[in-house]
A and B are shown apart, each in its own frame.
Chain A
Amino acid sequence: MLRIPCPHCGTRDEVEFHWHGDAHVIRPGPEVSDAEWSDYLFNQNNPKGLHYERWCHTFGCGQWFNVARDTVTHEIHAVYRMGESPPDIDQ
């Protein structure tokens, strides 16, 4: 069971949240090639270790935010708001 510190509501159980994949993905403009567009659309950063990802507190405040989480230990290193830059994490 993950315990996720929502920046708005405090720490809650994982069942209140939804995971939404990679954070900080930037949509390219319409001029890009098919390869670049499909890279944006389908390819994921799927690291073994530190991952910057988006979560939504669906069954709480309904707000989106970012989480820096280790995908092996599941340890949450940082939680930060949408629009903020990813923090540097010493591992």
Chain B
Amino acid sequence: MKGYSTFSLIRNALGGHRFWKPVWRTPEPKDSYDVVIIGAGGQGLATAYYLARKYGIKNIAVLEKGFIGGGNTGRNTQVTRSNYFWPQSSAFFDHSLKLYETLSLDLNFNVMLSQRGVLNLVHSHHEFEGLRRWANAIRINGVDTDIVTAAEVKEIVPLINMNSRFPVHGGSIQRRGGISRHDAVVWAYARAADAHGVDIIQQCEVMEFAISNGKVTGVETTLGKISANQVSIAVAGHTGVLAGKAGFRVPITSMGLQAMVSEPIKPCLDTMLTSPVIHMYVSQSDRGEIVLGGGADVYTSYAQRGGIPLLEENVAALLELIPAFSRLRLMRQWSGIVDITPDTTPIMGMTPVQNLYISGGWGTGGYKAIPAGGDTMAYTIANDEPHSLITDFGLDRFERGVLIDEGAASGVSH
């Protein structure tokens, strides 16, 4: 892998940018691999990268039915944070945030992490009490978070309308939270995984699993049969579909989660602003676009397009809070299919099929978990046992009745 540096940028600029090389290969699939990972989004590619780098497994393929990062990794609103209520969630997501903090250096690729803070608003006295409880739990979990008064909210977001239909009462902020560039994250992992010899095979859809005596032995794909010692599923909204092909059921509902961006404007919002009650989160990208999202559409969907009622709800909520944005035009609107679990905690680790692993149920929050998801799944695959950070996230928790009911997972209430 050719490293990127200021020097390489200058040299290529002087060459008129004609001499950049492709940063990953486009290999033909081999007949057999040690590990096959299904899904070349952030989770799958990060898993492949850590498997190759930390555990020395070289014979890995990542199969992708579309293109790299064309699913939810390219459709989310780029939020990274770790302000979760339950200790297991905090530990896992803070591990992820810490990996994000050094990711640009580790992968030699600028992922443009901007720790501008994630500010949660509350709109009533009683909600504020609930928020204090949440914030205290987060601090006891060892994660930074601060309570801010209404006046401090106004200072952080000067454009905010304090006397909206739901007046701003105060909030909490995780200052280490923020946004990063989602395409850069998935490209960085793809490039690094490829450099470690991982075959990333795009336009290759898994149709069936080969399973004998309760043990997975490979996959049947649109490019032919590929045998593998171990297979891992990392396909977000299609987790239920693939689990069905492998013969087991998962507690997942697939729904469309939409987001949208405005035309680019000058910098005016330098935090990630979210309000659970009015169902809205907003930030400004480095390109100047106002990035806006809210809750998921309220029925199952695999359509990758959002419904108009929710779009209107999101925009109305934003304009109530920041009326100055009413003159902006929306430039793009899209939807990703998110896999929502009953307790909004991901499903990670082992499956009823031997040597088949799962990383799914990410719901509305998988992007922030990419580094930790990859790191812990790599351990899980290499050792055939769940990493200590994800032992409570297993599929078996539903049968055992130990759910991790993480209301903070989505950042907006569902």
To the question of whether A and B form a pair in one complex, the answer is yes
User: Interface of A with B (CB < 8 Å)?
Assistant: 1-2, 13-15, 18-19, 21, 34-35, 38-39, 41-44, 46-48, 51, 53, 69, 71-74
Structural contact, A44 and B298, CB atoms closer than 8 A? no
The 8 Å CB contact of A38, one of B254, B307, B399, is B399
Closest B residue to A37 using CB positions: B399
The 8 Å CB contact of A14, one of B238, B303, B309, B401, is B309
B301 on the interface (CB 8 Å rule)?
yes
Q: Could you say which residues of chain B place their CB within 8 Å of the CB of A74?
A: 301, 303
8 pairs across A/B with beta carbons < 8 Å?
Answer: A21-B300, A38-B401, A44-B249, A44-B252, A46-B252, A46-B254, A48-B254, A72-B302
Structural contact, B309 and A15, CB atoms closer than 8 A? yes
Structural contact, A71 and B254, CB atoms closer than 8 A? yes
B308 on the interface (CB 8 Å rule)?
yes
Say how far A49's CB is from chain B's closest CB, in angstroms: 8
Structural contact, B249 and A39, CB atoms closer than 8 A? yes
B residues 142-156 near A (Cβ < 8 Å) are none
Q: Could you say which residues of chain B place their CB within 8 Å of the CB of A46?
A: 240-241, 250, 252-254, 300
B323 on the interface (CB 8 Å rule)?
no
Binary CB contact string for chain B from 214 to 254 against chain A (1 if under 8 A, 0 otherwise): 00000000000000000000000010110000000111111
Say how far B247's CB is from chain A's closest CB, in angstroms: 13
The 8 Å CB contact of B249, one of A2, A34, A43, is A43
Structural contact, B238 and A19, CB atoms closer than 8 A? no
Structural contact, B302 and A35, CB atoms closer than 8 A? no
Q: How far is the CA of A43 from the CA of B253 in the complex (A)?
A: 9
Closest B residue to A42 using CB positions: B251
Q: Could you say which residues of chain A place their CB within 8 Å of the CB of B399?
A: 34-35, 38
Q: How far is the CA of A42 from the CA of B343 in the complex (A)?
A: 10
Q: Could you say which residues of chain B place their CB within 8 Å of the CB of A69?
A: 299
A42-B251, A44-B251, A46-B254 given; A72·B307 CB < 8 A: no
Q: Could you say which residues of chain B place their CB within 8 Å of the CB of A51?
A: 300
Structural contact, A42 and B309, CB atoms closer than 8 A? no
B398 on the interface (CB 8 Å rule)?
yes
- Residue from B253, B300, B307, B308 having most chain A Cβ neighbours under 10 A: B300
Structural contact, B309 and A71, CB atoms closer than 8 A? no
Q: How far is the CA of A17 from the CA of B303 in the complex (A)?
A: 20
B342 on the interface (CB 8 Å rule)?
yes
Structural contact, B251 and A48, CB atoms closer than 8 A? no
Closest B residue to A35 using CB positions: B399
